[in-house]
Structure 1
Amino acid sequence: MLKSGKEAAETIGETVFRRIRQDIISGALPPGSKIRLEQTKERYSVSVSTLREILSRLTTENLVIAEGQRGFEVSPASRRELLELADLRILLESHAIGLSFATGDLDWEARIVAAHHKLSAIERQLLEGDASRTVDWVRYDWEFHQALVSACNSETLMATLSSVFDRFLRYHLLAESFRGKPVVDDHRRLFELAMKRDVGGAQDILTRHVRNGTEHVLKSGRIR
């Protein structure tokens, strides 16, 4: 079935939105860089009007700043925002863990098992020095944390947590280094505690996990 012109434009817009958003999170579009409309529309093969709509959407996630008549800029990275995102992630994910552990069924447990299996396989390769798997680790890290809270039965909570997680992740990618065995151990403990439905234990590990990750980013010297 052929798509109408409007539906095709919406599909292109969504695809480009995801590409630009991912480029901001990965650092391909660096913090504080100007987004020049003419150059950017060529880079992503999209019209200026669609590009403006996409950038306006990204301002609602604080990934882009609108500068009035001067256009748009990738949101800068700062120590203050990193600490705020860490607090917000702990708050949201801890609440979602409580809800999810209380209602999760066998399918929920299976999602966690599968997600942790993939994550731990990538982490073993990273520990062996294969830095090329960092991009895969980023994806599987989110899939594991998402699986833990996937039975919270709140689409709004999941969407908000996803946005905060990505903004927090941007700082880790800017640090350009894998945290090593401590993060692997945290994920293993979270997996074990999820299987036991130990809400308090999982929330404690998560808090330590996020705090230590924040310290790791700050010690990299790449965030002021």
Structure 2
Amino acid sequence: MTNANAASGEGKGAKSTLASSVYQQLRDDLLRGALEAESKLRVEWVVSRYGAGASPVREALNRLAAEGLLGRHDQRGFFLMPASATELEELTRTRCWLEERALRESIAHRTADWEEQLVLALHRLARAERRQPDEPTTNNPEWEKLHRAFHRALIAACRSHWLIGFCDQLSDQASRYRLISQRGPGSERDDLGEHRTIAERTLDGDADGAVEALLSHYRLTAEMCTARLNEGYDPRAGSAKSARSRKQRPM
């Protein structure tokens, strides 16, 4: 390989690494709701925020759009997908279909190592603080990671990487809605109790009971989020406005 070719290869590798870094940072911010105030994600704005060039930023945005985490208009750039009660209903229904099958398969093909990993995942989740100490309406990023790890551990023994991959994609899509459901007063629930019930039934080999607990867990989240959206919750504003206040607002 000539020096020129080597340099070219190194340049492409650096760009690919940078694009992957921007992709991961942007993806993490999307999933934790840090970009809700930005309805449009202009390349220039992303370049400024993440300190990367336009080329790796476009690559990262295109990857996220391909995964369905961003919307894309031809010639008009990228945007955050609007929150919709209709989409949430379809998403929840589909997620329940797939995760029921994954959980039943996981229980049917259980191993001692899988049981230990599930117990450990629940233990770690139970020890984590869910809310940020200085911002009670915002989830702790560490809790978010452990929450994701718990749900992944539930289905890890299902013996289908395809099914696990589809469940992961739906989990990503559901993250934004789950954050909406947890914001504002009156949104507290016994999260740990719900997760403990799911785990106990799963470890007992009670497939029907475990599935019932898991799907109830997801459906409750969807109900809480739908209620927030029906109140007039605007993810970009981070607040809910009653229908009455909207009607009384002068035109």
**Under a length normalisation based on structure 2, what TM-score does the superposition of the two structures give?**
0.79
Residue 66 of structure 1: SS of its match in structure 2? strand
Aligned equivalents of 2:216, 2:10: Cα separation in 1: 50
Q: Which residue of 1 aligns with 2:80?
A: 74
Q: Which residue of 2 aligns with 1:167?
A: 173
Q: Which residue of 1 aligns with 2:210?
A: 202
- Consecutive aligned runs of 4 or more in structure 1 exceeding 6 Å deviation: none
- CA-to-aligned-CA distance 1:78-126 (integer Å, 9 cap, x gap): 1111111111211111111011111121110111010000111226x65
Match of 1:190 among 191, 194, 198: 198
Q: Which residue of 2 aligns with 1:50?
A: 56
Q: Which amino acid aligns with 2:111?
A: D
Structure number with greater CO (CA < 8 Å, separation at least 6) is 1
Tell me by how many angstroms 1:202 deviates.
Answer: 0.8
Aligned equivalents of 1:44, 1:133: Cα separation in 2: 22
- CA-to-aligned-CA distance 1:136-170 (integer Å, 9 cap, x gap): 22211111110010111222211221121121111
Q: Which amino acid aligns with 1:111?
A: Q
Q: Which residue of 1 aligns with 2:108?
A: 102
**Contact 2:18–2:56 under 8 Å retained in 1:** no
- CA-to-aligned-CA distance 1:31-79 (integer Å, 9 cap, x gap): 7711111121121122222222211111122221111111111111111
2:8 is the counterpart of 1:7: no
Match of 2:35 among 15, 29, 37: 29
**Contact 1:31–1:74 under 8 Å retained in 2:** no
User: Considering only CA atoms, is the larger Rg found in Structure 1 or Structure 2?
Assistant: 2
Aligned equivalents of 1:103, 1:10: Cα separation in 2: 38
Match of 2:118 among 89, 112, 117: 112
* Root-mean-square deviation over aligned CA pairs: 2.5
Tell me by how many angstroms 1:21 deviates.
Answer: 1.2
Residue 69 of structure 1: SS of its match in structure 2? coil
Aligned equivalents of 2:42, 2:153: Cα separation in 1: 38
Aligned equivalents of 2:212, 2:234: Cα separation in 1: 26
**Contact 1:99–1:152 under 8 Å retained in 2:** yes
- Percent identity over paired residues: 33
**Contact 1:13–1:50 under 8 Å retained in 2:** yes
**Contact 1:32–1:75 under 8 Å retained in 2:** no
**Under a length normalisation based on structure 1, what TM-score does the superposition of the two structures give?**
0.88
Unaligned runs of at least 5 residues, structure 2: 1-8, 236-251
Aligned equivalents of 2:13, 2:116: Cα separation in 1: 36
Q: What is the total number of aligned residue pairs between the two structures? A: 220
